[in-house]
Amino acid sequence: MDIVQLIVSGLANGCVYGLIALGFVLIYKATEAVNFAQGDFMMLGAFITLGFTNADHMDLPFWLSVTMAIAIMGVLGYLLDFLVLRRMFGQSQVAVVILTIALGFVIRFIAGAIWGHEPQSLESPISGIELRFGGIVLGMDEVWIIIITLVLTGLLYLFFARAKLGIAMQASSQNQLAAYYMGIPVKRIHSMIWALSGIVATIAGILFASKGSIDPSAGLLGIKAFAAAVIGGFGSLPGALLGGLIVGLVEPFAARYMPAGYSQIFPYLILIVMLVVRPHGILSQIQTKKV
């Protein structure tokens, strides 16, 4: 009984990590830039929704707020690439890493200035309800998180497999030059990927904030999502989700069966072992360049 609860809560956490990791991987695959601010994107998306819908802020209907937050974060992602990241075209990866870290600092500052540094909880229809089957008590929020993640993954899969835009995105991530020759506007596609990644981050943030509470430093959760992305394979979308689930599952079990203090180092230990043993992850699609 205990184990089922641990698994479900682990899966729910893992879904959030997986969604953030999905955001990294989307951007990495398309532009070879790594967005270290993805965790902060998640936090910002959650706070925008919270600012719209919570009773002590604007008190708008929940679904309207979600739609608006998703739209705002999509536009923000697009503009970020259009105004900032595009200037970095052709510069080294490390410069982009530092830029996105700085971006994370700024986002954290803005969120703290607007919504304060106290942890707050999103008033969403899925939080705070418990489901009981026999002896098992499951949080409604956790079940919903898993379902929503599954649906979102399915939608993304369909988008990349069927939609014209999705196929164009795949093409430009595989070979920018060839995609450009085929008439795909590579730069605009990059901006759209950033928008998509902002949207995915917002959904992750909404799920995260309705499960617990959120504060401006929640963006540091992005590091766990990094572990997830690397474990699963940095260049693979299903890998990101898989890695997220692994990290999510390992955490509650380590917390349950290991002495206090040891549990939180497990995701990073797995990450380092993965980097040493199989640097490109479980579902790797990348081979090292050889001379």
Partner 1 sequence: MRIVFKTSYDADIRLFKHGAQAFWYGLLFVIAIALPFLINEFLIGEATLVLIWAICGMGLMLLVGQTGQASLGHAAFMAVGAYSNVLYQEHFSLPFIVSFPLSGLTAGVAGALVALPTTKLHGIYLAIATLAISVLAEDLIVIMEPLTGGVGGLFAPDIEIFGFTFNRYGNPIELYWLVLFITFIVIYLYRNILRAPIGRAFAAVRDSEVSAKAMGINVARTKMVAFAISCFITGLGGALMGHFATVFTHETFNLIMSITLLLIIVIGGLGTIHGAFFGAIVFVLLPLIISIGRDAFANMAGLGSISIPGLESGVFGILLIGFILFEPMGIYGRWLKIRTYFELFPFYRKDMFKRQKSYLKTERTQ
Q: Which residues bind partner 1 (CB under 8 A)?
A: 28, 32, 34, 84, 87-88, 90-95, 97-99, 101-106, 108-110, 112-113, 117, 174-176, 216, 220, 223, 226-227, 230, 234-235, 261-262, 264-265, 268-269, 271-272, 275-276, 279, 286-291
Rounded Cα distance, 192 and 74, in Å: 8
Sign of CA dihedral 49, 50, 54, 58: negative
| Least Cβ distance, residue 36 to partner 1 (angstroms) | 8
| Least Cβ distance, residue 33 to partner 1 (angstroms) | 9
Instruction: Please identify, using beta-carbon distances, which residue of 86 and 140 lies nearer to partner 1.
Output: 86
Instruction: Please identify, using beta-carbon distances, which residue of 35 and 202 lies nearer to partner 1.
Output: 35
| Least Cβ distance, residue 223 to partner 1 (angstroms) | 6
Rounded Cα distance, 145 and 149, in Å: 6
Instruction: Please identify, using beta-carbon distances, which residue of 159 and 268 lies nearer to partner 1.
Output: 268
Instruction: Please identify, using beta-carbon distances, which residue of 159 and 266 lies nearer to partner 1.
Output: 266
Q: In sequence order, what are the beta bridge partners of 213?
A: 121
| Least Cβ distance, residue 57 to partner 1 (angstroms) | 19
Phi, psi of 273 (to 5 degrees): -60, -45
Sign of CA dihedral 139, 62, 203, 153: positive
| Least Cβ distance, residue 237 to partner 1 (angstroms) | 15
Instruction: Please identify, using beta-carbon distances, which residue of 134 and 287 lies nearer to partner 1.
Output: 287
**Cβ atoms within 10 Å of 224's Cβ, excluding its own:** 24
Contacts 24+ apart (CB under 8 A), 255-264: 256/2, 256/6
